[in-house]
Structure 1
Amino acid sequence: MSDEWKSGSSEASGNNADDRSWKLLEKTLLAGVQEQRRARRWGIFFKLLTFVYLIGALFAFTPLLDFGKGGSRSTEHTAVIDVQGMIADKEMASADNVVGALRAAFDDTKTKGVILRINSPGGSPVQSGYIYDEIRRLRAKNPDIKVYAVISDLGASGAYYIASAADQIYADKASLVGSIGVTAAGFGFVGTMDKLGVDRRTYTSGEHKAFLDPFQPPKADETAFWQSVLDTTHRQFIASVKTGRGDRLKDKEHPELFSGLVWTGEQALPLGLIDGLGNASYVAREIIGAKDMVDYTIEDSTFDRFSKKLGVSMANQLAMWMGFQGPQLR
């Protein structure tokens, strides 16, 4: 009996020791896991803190970097306004941005002349027309301040529409100039829908409310009507260019002048589409007589530019390409 008791007692002691060992091991493991979690949380915190610091520094110092804005508004200077990229609402070259910059340049008593530095394929006829009208209004109100359009790589369609409102147009000999025409594009998915066996059902309260639906076959009368819209816009474009350029256009009845073709600066000069060859620095120094250039361009905020790079603009364009797209001066 005594031996049995001793044996049982020994086994119980062994089990208790094992339990204590497992509990100690469990506590050690849990402590290690908790320490790793704390280290991970602190690591994430410091990474976020660094990220916030860098973003804050970017927002704080970007306005101070003033890249390419040489010259001072306190002395006589040439005002420069960039017309870059698509001319459209919410873009850098929107009418609001360009017109706002023009007004600021003309309001500055130290502005001796204004250069529109253009590198654009064109865009909205409405936005282009608004800028065109404002240039002519400001020129009439301030006859002592001349406006010069200087085309770098490309000054086509809506961009040339704007340029034609200036007192003079300059370009490089290899610049692409002109493209006086109107385009509207889209896709037709009728065949694709048929192959997929998908039936398009559209309900409207107007005969032409589903006008130019890409999922339905085109209708002859609607196509003819849409062509008349484009032709009307084209006539408005031509009339504005003729008004802006006047007798400087060598042959206003040239069969291809308003056909949508583009010319190099060297070819555009004898046609009267431009007045000379030269860049912005040349015009400021030799034509305006104020070599110091001050940039009046209104740009998007850093956050807006960052957002657009994440795909906002791409999404807007994709939505237009997949559906209805209005007339474009391109």
Structure 2
Amino acid sequence: MRFWPRSKKPVVPVVRLHGVIGQGTSLRPGLSLAGVESALDKAFAMRGPAVALVINSPGGSPVQSSLIVQRIRALAEKHEKPTIAFVEDVAASGGYWLACAADEIIADASSIVGSIGVVTATFGFPELLSRIGVERRVYTIGENKAILDPFKPQRDADVAILHAVQSDVHEAFVAAIKDRRGDRLGDDPDLFTGRFWSGHAAVGLGLVDGLGEIRTTLKSRFGEKIRIKSVSTSRPSLLRRLGLASAPSADSLVGAAYQHMLWDRYGA
């Protein structure tokens, strides 16, 4: 048991991992290793009994999910710090991957947890251009360079290529979850099908370790005098600090709509 000087209260740093994982927009920033690395470094370097992660994410980029998790695990091992994840509204898909970076996962009974799968969403407009009198010209070297073109009819061969990539990503995702959760995972056949559950149900499946919220849990673990210190993952831009804001671009509006769609899948 570690004892703290009477003049100083023990501190648990908290890093919030909130939002869609991957490249964000000016309207809704995304989660990436570049965006959270400095906050993670600072949190794990702080003197204290543990590091807390607050997760609220519907998922996103599997690559950034993996990179963030790897960084958290490297820091936890370097500083020998136990890590506790607290799920707010959603820890789904890549968001659940982030939660698994912690040694323990605590969720609210109504949190959405799971969705261990891979999805690619797009649109098809194979007849649109001909209807409006536009001829589209695409020149490639390599027969597979322009697969899944939304302005061409869908081909089975294109879908097979996409499924092969998705399968590889799914295998890596499942392996990462099994590595972190181990024997705590249940044997439900839907566990890795992309299904999601409430926090209450997730306890029985071994996806989370218990129900609760951050303040009550940390005080019960480390005493009533524990201080919870938030470590920011971002700084506001100069324009925002001056009370100004640039007009959103078309790309940022589309990106924000896409992020909103990901949140809506889980009713968040």
TM-score by length of 2: 0.83
Does residue 107 of structure 1 match 2:45? yes
Residue from 159, 162, 165 that aligns with 1:223? 159
In 2: Cα distance, 1:288 partner to 1:250 partner: 29
Does residue 141 of structure 1 match 2:75? no
Is the 2:126–2:152 Cα contact (8 Å) retained in structure 1?
Answer: yes
Residue from 230, 233, 252 that aligns with 2:169? 233
Q: Which amino acid aligns with 2:210?
A: G
- When structure 1 is superposed on structure 2, of 210-219 and 264-273 the one drifting more is 210-219
Residue from 43, 57, 70 that aligns with 1:120? 57
Measured on the aligned residues, the alpha-carbon RMSD in Å equals 2.4
Q: CA deviation at 1:310?
A: 3.7
In 1: Cα distance, 2:146 partner to 2:22 partner: 25
Does residue 176 of structure 1 match 2:102? no
After superposition, what is the alpha-carbon deviation per residue over 1:90-121, rounded to whole angstroms, capped at 9, x for unaligned? 5352222222211111112x222111111111
Cα 1:310/1:278, change in 2 over 3 Å: farther
In 2: Cα distance, 1:321 partner to 1:217 partner: 26
Structure 1 residue matching 2:55: 3-state secondary structure:
strand
Is the 2:16–2:55 Cα contact (8 Å) retained in structure 1?
Answer: yes
* 2:201 equivalent in structure 1: 267
Q: How many residue pairs get matched?
A: 245
Q: CA deviation at 1:302?
A: 4.1
Q: CA deviation at 1:193?
A: 2.1
- 1:19-98 equivalences under 5 Å are 75-90=9-24, 91-98=29-36
Is the 1:79–1:112 Cα contact (8 Å) retained in structure 2?
Answer: no
Residue from 291, 300, 307 that aligns with 2:226? 291
Q: Which amino acid aligns with 1:232?
A: D
Q: Where do 5+ consecutive residues of structure 2 fail to align?
A: 1-7, 259-265
After superposition, what is the alpha-carbon deviation per residue over 1:158-185, rounded to whole angstroms, capped at 9, x for unaligned? 0100111210000000000011111111
* 1:301 equivalent in structure 2: 236
After superposition, what is the alpha-carbon deviation per residue over 1:3-50, rounded to whole angstroms, capped at 9, x for unaligned? xxxxxxxxxxxxxxxxxxxxxxxxxxxxxxxxxxxxxxxxxxxxxxxx
Q: CA deviation at 1:199?
A: 2.5
Q: Where do 5+ consecutive residues of structure 1 fail to align?
A: 1-73, 323-329
Cα 1:265/1:295, change in 2 over 3 Å: same
Structure 2 residue matching 1:206: 3-state secondary structure:
coil
Q: Which amino acid aligns with 1:299?
A: S
Structure 1 residue matching 2:49: 3-state secondary structure:
strand
Cα 1:261/1:288, change in 2 over 3 Å: farther
Cα 1:97/1:228, change in 2 over 3 Å: same
Structure 2 residue matching 1:111: 3-state secondary structure:
coil
Is the 1:92–1:300 Cα contact (8 Å) retained in structure 2?
Answer: no
Structure 2 residue matching 1:190: 3-state secondary structure:
coil
Cα 1:158/1:286, change in 2 over 3 Å: same
Q: CA deviation at 1:192?
A: 1.7
In 2: Cα distance, 1:94 partner to 1:151 partner: 18
Q: Which amino acid aligns with 1:100?
A: S
Q: Which amino acid aligns with 1:272?
A: G
Q: CA deviation at 1:262?
A: 0.9
* 1:256 equivalent in structure 2: 190
Higher helix share: 1
Cα 1:319/1:196, change in 2 over 3 Å: farther
* 2:262 equivalent in structure 1: none
Q: CA deviation at 1:136?
A: 1.6
In 2: Cα distance, 1:298 partner to 1:218 partner: 41
- When structure 1 is superposed on structure 2, of 195-204 and 292-301 the one drifting more is 195-204
